[in-house]
Structure 1
């Protein structure tokens, strides 16, 4: 759609996206970096770079552009979720606490974010906090509509928390949930 002679911002953006979508990461990152150089305060260009790196399996390199994107975007929940996922996927234990903070904020703002809950469960698991890992995983299953699996994990989490603690109460709420019926059958019975 855009000839190479067209150097407008939309044309440059389209070429960067095209390189990214066709798997030419070196070219895509160069083009995205050129766009960032013209608009360093554009959160969504930073997000694009972070997303491209994350999806290319370069989670560690995705962290800094995603941190900038969160800051520039006014704490956009979707970008924050992506940052949390990059922190977890980097495999660097030094990022575990930051990942938990980012993903906990994400799940508070967007409790239906299955990926955020699953990444949060991984982060808690890496820290050895199995009760919170089970609770986060339970919430992820519930958000995905997999109620039976969610309630099984909630029951396990509830046993790990002190009675009447916040985690225990959240697990108890999941256990008390009654799935809606569809055509007379409980929904969410899949595994």
Structure 2
């Protein structure tokens, strides 16, 4: 198990046929996991059990490469979890798992409810955990991006981000490709931008 925190250097895992992103939290609340999928051409798709303004609920990408395994609601034995399955292909640049708690859930922070992201690369046996020890304690922050899964040429690169929405914002994050003068000509970085996506219409 590799434990990561915000600011840590990215971790490279062996690329395999399947990657799993699993989010857990206390079953005393009803959070949701969804994924932002960014394509190599910059297009963005959302895989979620619920929709947003102008964006219908979709349990998988059109090509079936990224799939949500369903809303488990409040889990047993004190822990709830939801899972995204990812089969990386050449059209996928990155997948960003997002934890979401609507205003109607009432007060409760990502820190209080122990929101934790675990990523594994299946047959290769590697696991990365971005835990909640340093999560945002603000009761009025509703979206959390613990990390990003980047599809590199020869590996799967995990970034610990721990980014959060603004207070009271129900807008989704989005992902943008940015060109940088510090990188080689034509190279781009993948950047998660909070609160610039469509407004969630869930709950």
Bucket of the pairwise TM-score, normalised by the shorter protein = under 0.3
**TM-score (ref. length: structure 1):** 0.21
Of structures 1 and 2, the one with the larger relative CO (CA 8 A, separation 6+) is 2
- Greater strand percent: which structure? 2
- Greater helix percent: which structure? 1
Q: Which has the larger radius of gyration?
A: 1
